[in-house]
Amino acid sequence: REAEQKRQQAEQQRREAERQRQIQAQREAEEARRQAQAEQQRREAERQRQIQAQREAEQKRQQAEQQRREAERQRQIQAQREAEQKRQQAEQQRQRENPAVRRPETSTIRRN
């Protein structure tokens, strides 16, 4: 009877140990799954960050290009303005030096 009792006790202990082992295995599997998920999220966040950084860099590049073009356009407009001013100044200078050439009607009025 004692031997039977001991056998049952041993069996019960064995079953309890097996149950504990399974619980531990489940916990570890759950932890591993959680870590894998966290790692995946981290990777995805990093990927999104890189995409965003590339997008921003491209935008900056385009803006810089646009500014460069605009500056070039302004420079050309300024150059044209200056050339026109020089031309007008030269014309005025020529008229001062030789007023008769300016407009025939004024020169005829002066003669009268």
pLDDT in tens, 64-94: 999 999 999 999 999 999 999 999 999 998 8
Residues 59-88: b if buried by 16+ CB within 10 A, e if exposed: eeeeeeeeeeeeeeeeeeeeeeeeeeeeee
pLDDT greater than 60 at residue 106: no
Q: What do you get for the CA distance between the two ends of the chain, in Å?
A: 157
How many Å apart are CA 97 and CA 55, to the nearest integer? 63
Contact 107, 99 (CB under 8 A): yes
Residue 108 has pLDDT above 80, yes or no: no
Say if CB 101 and CB 94 are below 8 A apart.
Answer: yes
DSSP annotation of 98 reads -
Pair 102, 95: CB distance under 8 Å: yes
Q: Which two tokens stand for residue 61?
A: 């590049």
Q: 81 with 88: CB under 8 angstroms?
A: no
Coil, helix or strand for 15? helix
Q: Tokens 């020169």 sit at which residue?
A: 107
Q: Where are the domains of the chain?
A: 2-111
Q: Is the pLDDT of residue 96 over 60?
A: yes
